[in-house]
Amino acid sequence: MTKNPFFDIDFTKIAADYKIPGLDVEALVSAQRRNIEAITAANQLAFEGLQAVGRRQAEILRQTLEETAAALRDAVAQGTPEEKLAKQTDLAKQAFEKALSNMKELADLLAKSNQDAASVISARVTASIDEVKSLLANIKK
């Protein structure tokens, strides 16, 4: 992988060359570093949430296949055509209800993951606004 020369730049030196009175360049660079850390943390939470959803989907698939195999064994069991039809109708209803329940569970997992990631960004935006206010107050002095 090629090295990105952008990361070799020392932004504190570049900003210090502009010599804006009262501007704390180190605080500005530090704030940006915390912004990047917050984005990284939010991405990590989102990734972990997607992994959890993927694991749960695999569990649901395994469970569904096992239940389907059991249902097929029961469906071919002896009985009158009316009994088989009633059993098949009941199985279809149960499968539909289970599918809805599973979809809701997966949607809830995704919503929680998104909420966790968004709360990290939201907290950082709030802190960043406070930092900018503080920096601006120091410039005015």
* Residue 53 located in a structural domain: yes
For residue 43, the model assigns a pLDDT of 96
* Residue 136 located in a structural domain: yes
Range of the domain at 131: 23-140
pLDDT in tens, 9-34: 666 666 666 666 666 778 878 888 89
* Residue 17 located in a structural domain: no
Mean pLDDT of the chain: 85
Average pLDDT of the residues in 28-50: 92
* Residue 96 located in a structural domain: yes
Number of domains in the chain: 1
* Residue 62 located in a structural domain: yes
- Which pTM value belongs to this model? 0.70
**Secondary structure of the chain in HEC code, one letter for each residue:** CCCCHHHHCCHHHHHHHHCCCCCCHHHHHHHHHHHHHHHHHHHHHHHHHHHHHHHHHHHHHHHHHHHHHHHHHHHCCCCCHHHHHHHHHHHHHHHHHHHHHHHHHHHHHHHHHHHHHHHHHHHHHHHHHHHHHHHHHHHHC
* Residue 119 located in a structural domain: yes
